[in-house]
Structure 1
Amino acid sequence: MKTATVKELKTELNYSSQAELIELCLQLSKFKKENKELLTYLLFEKSNEEGFIEDVKIEVDVLFTEINTNSYFYIKKSVRKILRLIKKYIRYSKKKETEIELLLYFCKKLSEFKPSVRKNSVLLGILQREVISVKKKIKVVHEDLQYDYNLELKNLNL
C-alpha cells in the first residue's frame, strides 16, 4: 500500500463530515499509543502548556529516581530513554519555549545526578550536546526569554 502525502490527506479530510472525523481520530487512537498520547495532548493539555511542562518534569523526576546506578551502562540506557521521552513530548508541543524548558530541566537533572556524569565520557557527551542544542534554540526566542534562559543555563554549573 502506498502512503498518501500530507496534502492528499488534508484534501480528503476536508470532504469528511464531523462524525467521520471523530471516527477516524478514534481509530488512530486505538492503533498506536503515540497517537493516543498526541490526541490527549491536543485535546486536554494544549490549552495549559505550563501544566503540561510540570507534568513532564514530574515524570522526568520519577524516571531519574528509578535509574539503576550499579553501572554506567544502565545509567546511559536510562538517560537515553528519558531524553527520547522528552523529545517525544517536545514534538507534541511544537513550541520553542516548551522545548527549551524541558531540555534545560533535563540538563539540570543530569548535571546534578549522582554518580557524576562527568566521570563517563558518553554521559558527558549527551549533556554537552543538549546544552549546545539549547543554546541554539535560545537564539530564536524573544529577548526577555533569551536572558532568562541564558541565566538558567549559566546556573547549571557546567
Structure 2
Amino acid sequence: MKSATVKEIKTELNECSHQDLIELCLRLSRFKKENKELLTYLLFESGNEDQYIENVKNEVDEQFTIINITSYYFIKKSVRKILRTIKKYIRYSKNKETEIELLLYFCKKLKDFEPSITSNSVLMNIHNREIASIKKKITLLHEDLQYDYKLELQNLYF
C-alpha cells in the first residue's frame, strides 16, 4: 500500500468532523508507542516546556544510573541508547532551546561519568560529535541565548 502525501492527508483531515478527528487520533495512538508519546507531549506537556525538560533530564539520570560498567562495550551500547531516547524527545518538542538544553545535559553527564570516557575513543567521539552539533545549533539562537549556552559549552571540554 502506498502512503499518501502530507498535503493529501491535510486536505482529507480538513474535511473530517471533530468526532472523526478524535477517533483517528485515538486509533493512531494504539499502533505505536512513539505515536502515543507524541500525543502525550502535544496534549499535556507542550504548554510547560521547562517541566518537560526536567522530566527528560530525570529519565536520563535514571538511565545513566543503570548502565552496566563492567566493560566499555556495555557502556557504549547504553550511551547510544540514551542518546537515541534524547533525540526522540527532541523531535517531539521541535524547540531549539529544548534541544540544546538536553544535549548539553547529556554531554555533561557523559563527561562526569565514571569510569572516565577519555580512555575510550568511541565514547569520546560521541561526546565530541554532540558538542559540534550543539555549536551549530547555538548559532541559530538569539545573541543573549548564544552567550549563555556558549558559557555552558565551555565547561564540557576535557
What TM bracket, shorter-length normalisation?
over 0.9
List runs of 5+ in structure 2 lacking aligned partners.
Answer: none
The CA RMSD over aligned residues, in Å, is 0.5
Q: Which amino acid aligns with 1:144?
A: D
Counterpart-to-counterpart distance in 2, 1:148 and 1:65: 28
Distance 2:130 2:103 in 1: 7
List per-residue Cα deviations over 1:25-81 (Å, max 9, x = no partner): 000110100000000000000000000000000000000000000000000000000
| AA in 2 matched with 1:38 | L
Name the counterpart of 1:122.
122
- 1:62 maps to 62
What does residue 29 of structure 2 align with?
29
Shift of 1:155: 1.5
The reply to whether residue 45 of structure 1 matches residue 45 of structure 2 is yes
CA distance in 2, matches of 1:118, 1:9: 49
SS of residue in 1 equivalent to 2:39: helix
2:41 maps to a residue whose letter is Y
- List per-residue Cα deviations over 1:5-31 (Å, max 9, x = no partner): 000000000000000000000001101
**Matches of 1:157 and 1:103, distance apart in 2:** 14
What's the CA shift for 1:156? Answer: 1.8
TM-score by length of 2: 0.99
Mapped partners of 2:151, 2:99: distance in 1: 17
% identical equivalent positions: 72
- 1:157: how far off? 3.6
SS of alignment partner, residue 133 of structure 2: helix
Aligned to 1:149: 149
CA distance in 1, matches of 2:68, 2:2: 43
Equivalent residue number for residue 18 of structure 1: 18
Q: Which amino acid aligns with 2:52?
A: F
Letter of the 1:133 counterpart: S
The residue number in structure 2 matching 1:99 is 99
Please say if 1:82 is aligned against 2:82: yes
Post-superposition Cα deviations, 1:67-104, rounded to whole Å, max 9, x if no partner, equal: 00000000000000000000000000001000000000
Partner amino acid, structure 2, of 1:118: T
CA–CA distance in 2 between the matches of 1:21 and 1:153?
A: 43
Letter of the structure 1 residue corresponding to residue 46 of structure 2: K
Tell me the residue number matched to 2:134: 134
In structure 2, give the amino acid aligned to 1:150. K
